[in-house]
Amino acid sequence: MTELSIYQLVQNASLLVQMVMLLLLLISLYSWTLIFRKSRSLQKSHRIANDFEERFWKGKDLRGLYNRISSQEKEPKGIENIFVLGYLEFLRLRKQPQVASATIIEGVQRALRIALHRETDKLDMHLTPLATVGSVSPYIGLFGTVWGIMNSFHALGGLQQVTLAMVAPGISEALIATAMGLFAAIPAVLAYNHYTDDVERLITRYDTFSDEFLGILQRQILAMTTTTSSTTEPEEFLEN
């Protein structure tokens, strides 16, 4: 029995099939790059969310938390950015004279919604290319296989007697293209499904925080409007 050698199968394949294999190899490397990059990005997003929510729910000084995050050298990301943009809009509207409470709430809600959409777009980054790799790679490999089989049968067309031993090598060389297409597609599909679920859970987490944060601001604004003008505002809303 002849030992199967991947190198020999690739080497003996036609030029077009070899080009298809090279393309699939590059696609696979690109896919794995996206997979590792997305994994690091989502891990960082979860870590930021965990750290922020722990600080947010432990403390009562929202202004102090806002100042600490805004003073960081690195740009706020994920749930931190949603909080910063929402609270910044709250402070901006409160500085304007004679602004109704409903206007403040609507402005903060709009800012939170915009921030949530921006963070959702960032989370969705690199998912579409993974889906494309997973759906297209098998067809690219199949194209190489069909072309290789066509060439094999075309080369045998002038022979009077054809045996399986004469046909098998050409078919084996062509089928390696399909195998490489699956090799590129399967990890991409698995990663896409896993990361899509992870992204959806993060978006739900961001959306839930936005609603809870807006509820806190609503309660504080309601408390402020029911007090007299001489009453001191809550500590977390005092400006430096």
- Rounded to whole angstroms, the Cα distance separating 228 from 40 reads 51
Report yes or no: 234 and 220 within 8 Å, Cβ to Cβ: yes
pLDDT band at 79; cut points 50, 70, 90? very high
pLDDT of residue 4: 56
Residues 4-12, mean pLDDT to the nearest whole number: 66
Q: What is the rounded distance in angstroms from the CA atom of residue 39 to the CA atom of residue 30?
A: 14
In the numeric block, the tokens 């393309």 are attached to: 23
| pLDDT tens figures, 153-177 | 666 666 556 565 556 666 777 788 8
CA separation, residue 59 to residues 71, 194, 235 (Å): 18, 34, 12
pLDDT score of 234: 45
In this structure, are residues 94 and 104 in contact, taking their beta carbons and an 8 Å threshold?
yes
Cβ contact 137:185 at 8 Å: yes
Give the pair of three-digit tokens for residue 76: 């706020």
pLDDT of residue 172: 72
With a cut of 70, say whether residue 236 has pLDDT above it: no
Q: Rounded distance, CA 74 to CA 118, Å?
A: 18
pLDDT at 170: 66
pLDDT at residue number 240: 34
Task: State the residue for tokens 């102090």.
Answer: 64
What does the radius of gyration of the chain's CA atoms come to, in whole angstroms?
30
- Name, in order, each residue with C-beta under 8 angstroms of 158's C-beta and a sequence gap of 6 or more: none
Least confident piece of the model among 35-39, 97-101, 136-140, 195-199: 97-101
Give how far Cα 50 sits from Cα of 44, 46, 79, 205, Å. 10, 6, 9, 10
Highest mean pLDDT among 11-25, 134-148, 186-200: 186-200
Question: What type of residue is 97?
Answer: P
Average pLDDT, stretch 49-63?
87
Which pLDDT score is estimated for 97? 79
Q: What percent of the chain has pLDDT over 70?
A: 80
Residue-wise pLDDT tens digits, 176-224: 888 889 999 999 999 999 999 999 999 999 999 999 999 988 888 887 7
Query: What is the per-residue pLDDT for 100?
Result: 84
How many C-beta atoms surround the C-beta of residue 72 within 10 A?
A: 9
